[in-house]
Amino acid sequence: MSTERKILLLGSGFVAGPAVEYILRRPENHLTIACRRVAAVEALTKQFSRAKSESLDVTNEAALDEIISRHDLVISLIPYTYHPLVIKSAIKFGKNVVTTSYVSPAMKEFHDAAVEKDLIIMNEIGLDPDIFDVESKNSIHRFFFFDLNFSNSTMSTERKILLLGSGFVAGPAVEYILRRPENHLTIACRRVAAVEALTKQFSRAKSESLDVTNEAALDEIISRHDLVISLIPYTYHPLVIKSAIKFGKNVVTTSYVSPAMKEFHDAAVEKDLIIMNEIGLDPAGGKIISFISYCGGLPAPECSNNPLGYKFSWSSRGVLLALRNSAKFYKDGKIVEIPGTELMSSAKPYLIYPAFAFLSYPNRDSTPFKEFYNIPEAQNIVRGTLRYQGFTDFVKVLVKIGLLDDSNQNYLQFNSPEISWRDIIAKVLSTSNHTEEGLREAIKSTITENEISEGEIERILKGFKWLGLFSDKPVRRCGTLLDTLCATLEGKMQYEEGERDMVILQHKFEIELKDGTRETWTSTLLEYGKPPGPSAMATTVGTPCGIAAQLILDGVIKKRGVLAPYIPEINNPIIAELEKEGIKVREEKL
CB atoms within 10 A of CB 345: 14
Residue 248 vs residues 223, 444, 506, 526: alpha-carbon distances, Å: 8, 79, 44, 46
Please work out, in degrees rounded to the nearest 5, the angle formed at the alpha carbon of residue 304 by the alpha carbons of 298 and 307: 110
In the set 282, 393, 483, 501, the catalytic residue is 282
Closest CA to 236 of 136, 146, 118, 132: 136
282 labelled catalytic: yes
Amino acid identity, position 123: N
The angle, 0 to 180 degrees and rounded to 10, between the axes of the packed helices 536-553 and 16-23 is: 40
Report the Cα 190 to chain-centroid distance in Å. 21
Q: Is the peptide bond before 532 cis (omega within 30 degrees of 0)?
A: yes
Residue 566 CA: distances (Å) to CA of 102, 132, 375, 548, 569: 12, 9, 12, 14, 9
H/E element, 587 = strand 586-589
For 44-168, where are the E strands, in sequence order?
Answer: 51-55, 73-76, 96-99, 120-122, 159-164
579 burial via Cβ count (<10 Å: 0-12, 13-18, 19+): middle
Check residue 325 and report its DSSP letter: -
Terminal alpha carbon distance of the chain: 45
Hey, is 117 helix, strand or coil?
coil
Q: How far apart are CA 307 and CA 467, in angstroms?
A: 9
How many angstroms separate the CA atoms of 347 and 338, rounded?
11
* Helices 436-444, 454-467: crossing angle, 10 deg rounding: 140
Residue among 584, 544, 499, 575 nearest 18 (CA): 544
Of 166, 161, 193, the closest CA to residue 178 belongs to 161
Closest among 361, 338, 448, 450 to 397, alpha carbons compared: 448
Sign of the Cα pseudo-torsion (579, 221, 168, 205, in order): negative
Rounded Cα distance between 121 and 577, Å, is 20
Q: Which long-range contacts (CB under 8 A, 24 or more apart) does 415-420 make?
A: 416/477, 418/474, 418/477, 419/474, 419/475, 419/477, 420/471, 420/472, 420/473, 420/474, 420/475
Q: List all residues 6 or more positions away from 570 whose beta carbon is below 8 Å from its beta carbon.
A: 122, 557, 559, 563
What residues does 120 pair with on adjacent strands? 561
Which residues are known to be catalytic?
282
